[in-house]
Amino acid sequence: MTQKNKVDLLIIGAGPGGYVAAIRAAQLGMSVLCVEKRKTLGGTCLNIGCIPSKALLSSSHKYAEVKAQTPFADVGIEIGKLSLNLKQMMAAKEKVVTQLTKGIDFLFEKNKIIRKKGTARFLSAQEVAIEDEATTAEVWQARFILIATGSESTTLPGIKVDEKQIVSSTGALSLTKVPKKMVVVGGGYIGLEMGSVWQRLGSQVTVVEYMDRLVPQMDHELGAALQKALTKQGIHFQLSTKVTGITEKKDTVFVAIESADHKQDTLEADVVLMATGRKPFTEGLELEKIGVARNDKGFIVVNERYETSVSGIFAIGDVIPGPMLAHKAEEEGIAVVETLAGQKGHVNYDALPSVIYTHPEVASVGRSEEELKATEKAYKVGKFPFLANSRAKAVGETTGFVKVLADPLTDQVLGVHIIGADAGTLIGEAALALEFSASAEDIARTCHAHPTLNEALKEAALAVDGHAIHI
C-alpha cells in the first residue's frame, strides 16, 4: 500500500537495471517509485547505448553491403547509384529509441509504478529528495532504496570531450556529417562498434589501443580474428600504442601517440572518439552523507544480496563492480527484488554472455582459454569453422568459427566463443548450456535444425571428442 509519499521500494535510475527491477517488484506486490533524471526512461542502454548503436550498426551495414556491390553482384543482383541520407539514418535511429523508451512508460503504467522525473538525492537512509527544475522538490520515504544510477564515459587526463570534434560514444551516435578521418581511442567493444559504423559510411578509421590486442578481456583467438576481419574492411589499428595528448586547430584534431617501443607520431582526424571505458555514476546522490561505501574505482560495494554498507540500501548494474552490460543489470535487478520478496534471487555470473555487434559479430560465454590456463584448469577444445557450415555457405557468411571448451574428465562445457554472422544470437544456446551445466555431448546430441548457423555449435561440440561430421 502506498501511504502519502511512502513506498516499499524507491528505485533511483530507470536504465535496464532500474526499470526491470521496478516491474518485477510491482509484479511481486510491492509499491514502487522509480525516479529518473532523463526525460525518457531506459537509461544509457535505450537512449545513448545499446539500442541507438545497434540501429546505426544495422543501417550502416546495409549501406556498406550495397556499396561493396560484391555480395549482390555475386548472386545476380545489380544495383544502381547509391547515396547516403545521414539525416534520415539518424531520424530512423531516433524513431527506434522513442518507440522503445515509450514502451517502458507503457509498462510502468501497466504495473502501476510511480514514475518521477527528477534528480534523486539521499536525505537519510530511508529518505530521498527528488528535485526537478519544472516541479517543486518532493521528499519520499521507502522501506528499501535501490541505486541503479549506471555509468558515464571516461576520457584520458587532460583531454576534454566537447561532443563535436572530440566525442564520447554519445556524440559518435549523432554526428551530422561523415568525418573524413576518425581516430578511435580504445579498442573495446564500444570503440569497435562505433568505429565500424563510421568506417562503413565512408570515414577512414584508425583505432589506437594501449594493449597489444583488441577486446583483451575476451578469448584471445576471438580478438585476433576480429582484428583480421575489421582490417580487411579497411579499419587501421595501432596496437601497443598510447595517446599522449590531443590538440585541436580549426577543424583538425591532432592525436599524439607513442608506441611501446617509444616511437612517436601524430595522427590527424576530423573527429576523435574517446572510447576508453566507462565509470560508475554516483554524482549528486550524496552517498557520503549516509555512509554508502565505494571502492577505489568509485563502484558501490555490495554483498551477495546487493545490499550496500547501509542496511536497506541496495545497488545494481553499472554502478557496482562487474561487466558493464545491460543484461547483467537486468538480471541483478530481478535478483535483488526477488530476494527482498523472500525468494532466492541470484545471478549466475559464469553464464553471462557478452557480444560485440561488429560484422562479423563476436560472442562469448563462460571461461576463455587464457582464464583456464591462468587457473591451471585442464580443458579440451572443439572448433568448427563457418566455412564448413552449409547455411553460412548459402548466405555468404563464411567468416569465423565456433570454439567449445570442455572439462576433459566430466565433459562439462566451460566456455563457448563464437565469431561469425549472428554470433550474438547463437550464444544464447551456449549460455543455456552453461546454465544447465551441460556437457559438450549434451549439445552434440541435441538435434539442430538444418540448415542453420547453430549447427556449427553442434559440430564444435562434436569436435571436442574429435567426432565432427562435416570437417
Q: Which residues contribute to the site for ligand FAD (CB under 6 A)?
A: 12-18, 35-38, 43-45, 49-50, 53, 119-120, 148-151, 169, 190, 281, 284-285, 317-318, 324-327, 329, 357
* Long-range contacts (CB closer than 8 Å, 24 or more residues apart) made by 283-292: 284/119, 284/121, 285/12, 285/120, 285/121, 285/122, 285/147, 285/149, 286/121, 286/122, 287/122, 289/122, 290/122, 290/124, 290/125, 292/122, 292/147
> Cβ closer to ligand FAD: 274 or 444?
274
Residue 348 Cβ, how far from ligand FAD at the closest point, in Å?
Answer: 16
Residue 302 Cβ, how far from ligand FAD at the closest point, in Å?
Answer: 13
Residue 130 Cβ, how far from ligand FAD at the closest point, in Å?
Answer: 8
Distance from C-alpha of 276 to C-alpha of 380, rounded to nearest angstrom: 34
φ, ψ for residue 59, nearest 5 deg: -70, -35
448 labelled catalytic: no
Residue 57 Cβ, how far from ligand FAD at the closest point, in Å?
Answer: 9
> Cβ closer to ligand FAD: 325 or 433?
325
> Cβ closer to ligand FAD: 268 or 283?
283
Catalytic member of 61, 236, 450, 467: 450
Type of residue found at 309? S
By CB neighbour count within 10 A (0-12 exposed, 13-18 middle, 19+ buried), where does 264 fall?
exposed
> Cβ closer to ligand FAD: 154 or 204?
154
> Cβ closer to ligand FAD: 11 or 405?
11
Question: Which residues contact residue 411 at a Cβ distance below 8 angstroms, ignoring those fewer than 6 apart?
Answer: 439, 440, 441, 464, 465
Classify the C-alpha dihedral 373-375-379-382 as positive or negative.
negative
> Cβ closer to ligand FAD: 116 or 383?
116
Residue 357 Cβ, how far from ligand FAD at the closest point, in Å?
Answer: 6
> Cβ closer to ligand FAD: 36 or 459?
36
> Cβ closer to ligand FAD: 127 or 407?
127
Residue 200 Cβ, how far from ligand FAD at the closest point, in Å?
Answer: 16
Residue 321 Cβ, how far from ligand FAD at the closest point, in Å?
Answer: 12
**241's grid cell:** 600504442
Residue 48 Cβ, how far from ligand FAD at the closest point, in Å?
Answer: 6
Residues with catalytic function: 450
